[in-house]
Amino acid sequence: MAIITAAKAREDLFTKETLGKFSGDVYFHPLHKDEHVSILDVQFAPCARTHWHNHEKGQLLEITTGSGWVCDKGQEPRKVEAGDIVWCPPGTVHWHGAGDGGSMIHRAISFGGMEWYNPVSADDLKGVN
């Protein structure tokens, strides 16, 4: 069993993402990681987003601050706001991030491995602001 106390969650700072799997400025605050699940808070600066990716056993996103966008491959982007919860089913190729109007923080709970693909194109961003 692992307990992530509120005090521990507040004491660690966000660190800049350096994996090259995001566009724009993105910061991580890891809370837990093992072979089955990872839990981290992710801060997206305005216009920042993930590349296309999927999760072997799915991903749960809880939008905690601001607003942003989520999009499944082949679908239109959908706006999300603080308090919204998003379930990305296993294997669903998707992206998520902030619009140009402000930043977003979400808690990502990811199950199993993941695969990364190409950056999101300008055509994929139609309708996002």
51-107 confidence digits (pLDDT tens): 999 999 999 999 999 999 999 999 999 999 999 999 999 999 999 999 988 999 999
Looking at residue 20, its pLDDT comes to 86
Looking at residue 117, its pLDDT comes to 97
Q: What CA–CA distance (Å, rounded) separates 26 from 29? A: 10
Q: What CA–CA distance (Å, rounded) separates 39 from 68? A: 19
Q: What CA–CA distance (Å, rounded) separates 59 from 112? A: 9
Q: How confident is the model at residue 18 (pLDDT cuts 50, 70, 90)?
A: confident
SS3 sequence, the chain? CCCCCHHHHHHCCCEECCCCCEECCEEEEEEEECCCEEEEEEEECCCCEECCEEECCCEEEEEEEEEEEEEECCCCCEEEECCCEEEECCCCCEEEEECCCCCEEEEEEEECCEEECCCCCCHHHCCCC
The domain 38-108 having CATH identifier 2.60.120.10: the answer here is: yes
Q: What CA–CA distance (Å, rounded) separates 49 from 99? A: 8
| Domain chopping of the chain, boundaries | 38-108
